[in-house]
Amino acid sequence: MNEQMTIEQLEELMISKEGEQLEFKEAKKSFHFETLLQYCAALANEGGGEIVLGVTDKRPRSVIGSQAFNQPERTRSSLIEQLHLNIDFSVVNHPKGRVLIFHVPTHPIGNPVKYKGVYWQRQGDSLIPMSEDRLRGIFAEAGHDFSADICASATLDDLDKEAIENFRKRWMNKSRNQGLATLTQKQLLNDAEALIDGGLTYAALILFGTRKALGRHLAQAEVIFEYRTSDASGPAQQRKEFREGFFSSYDELWNLINLRNDIQHFQSGLFVLDIPTFSERVVREAVLNAVSHRDYQLGGSVFIRQHPRRLVFESPGGFPIGITEQNILDRQLPRNRRIADIFAKCGLVERSG
């Protein structure tokens, strides 16, 4: 649903100082969609704000009305599709004419917004590529990415070839790039940035490492599954430790949970629907989150505890920098961005930017 703005609120906006969070354009007859995309990207990179169409940009500002984007809901959908930002709009029917305002949220933490390969910012009345200093500032918001660090003592022999092939297959299915089939495993890992200048990243170990390699280089990178019929203390009815690369164990984890995935009966009017207790999509996403968001610099393992009617995930480390209980549904910030990027390449998660 689009935001609502009154005439009074618009007039208050018009006397505000035009700056990083506010842009006025006359756009009396039209406004180029490409330019709108660039301004929205720039506003997002500057902390979010509004672009107002149908108002003069020189003081004292006045409403002249705009005929641009006469189907703003369609324009909004196109903006969201291109920029992956939850952009909204208001239409104010002012006595002097129609005013259209696009409300742009800030960029995801640590991820500047780009359009056609350029990170935009504003400079006066112009749009320019973002400076390196400002880019570094945004990237630094997310803190240090441990998964992109090189594990100096690890080699390609520490990786499971089948796990790499599992990733290759998923990446080909996602990208439809059949050329990936001809790459050596080393080149594939280079292209995925799991291998940097010949050095193996911790992301490579976490996603493709053998049990022996993880035990030697990163023993805490394991997922422990337990099945318990009750909350009573004591040994679990079943326990299995997955200290191996994610692409070696991802499917096996779901299969293990699904073994005891009882069917629940849900009454809907005259019909009784059979619904599994645990949705495969939700469970797989929770596993992905646990792997990409946990803090690998802390000891401890990811625990998945299954009960007959609930599934509990415990992951070392609190919320990433900038994520709170209040904004967790709106903001995306993987603690281990190199892992998240590799997941995105093969379609396991979507990334913005």
- Listed by start position, the domains of the chain span 7-140, 147-345
Mean pLDDT of 83-95: 93
Q: What pLDDT is recorded for position 20?
A: 61
Per-residue pLDDT band at 61 (split at 50, 70, 90): very high
- For residue 37, the tally of other CB atoms under 10 A from its CB is 18
Give CA–CA dist 334/321, Å, rounded: 10
What's the pLDDT at 291?
92
Which pLDDT belongs to residue 111? 82
Q: Give the per-residue pLDDT at 330.
A: 55
CB 112 within 8 A of CB 119: yes
Q: Which residue has the higher pLDDT, 189 or 6?
A: 189
| CATH tag for 147-345 (out of 3.30.230.70, 3.90.1570.10, 3.40.50.2300, 3.30.565.60) | 3.30.565.60
The dotted CATH code for 7-140 is 3.30.950.30
Determine the Cα angle at 327 with ends 220 and 144, to 5°.
Answer: 40
Q: What is the pLDDT of residues 1-60, one digit of tens each?
A: 456 788 989 988 888 876 668 999 999 999 999 999 999 999 999 999 999 999 998 888
Q: Distance (Å, rounded) from C-alpha 207 to C-alpha 298?
A: 18
Check: pTM over 0.85? Answer yes or no.
no
Tens-place pLDDT, residues 253-309: 999 999 999 998 888 888 888 999 999 999 999 999 899 889 898 888 999 999 999
CB 243 within 8 A of CB 211: yes
Give the percent of the chain with pLDDT over 90. Answer: 69
Same fold, 7-140 and 147-345: no
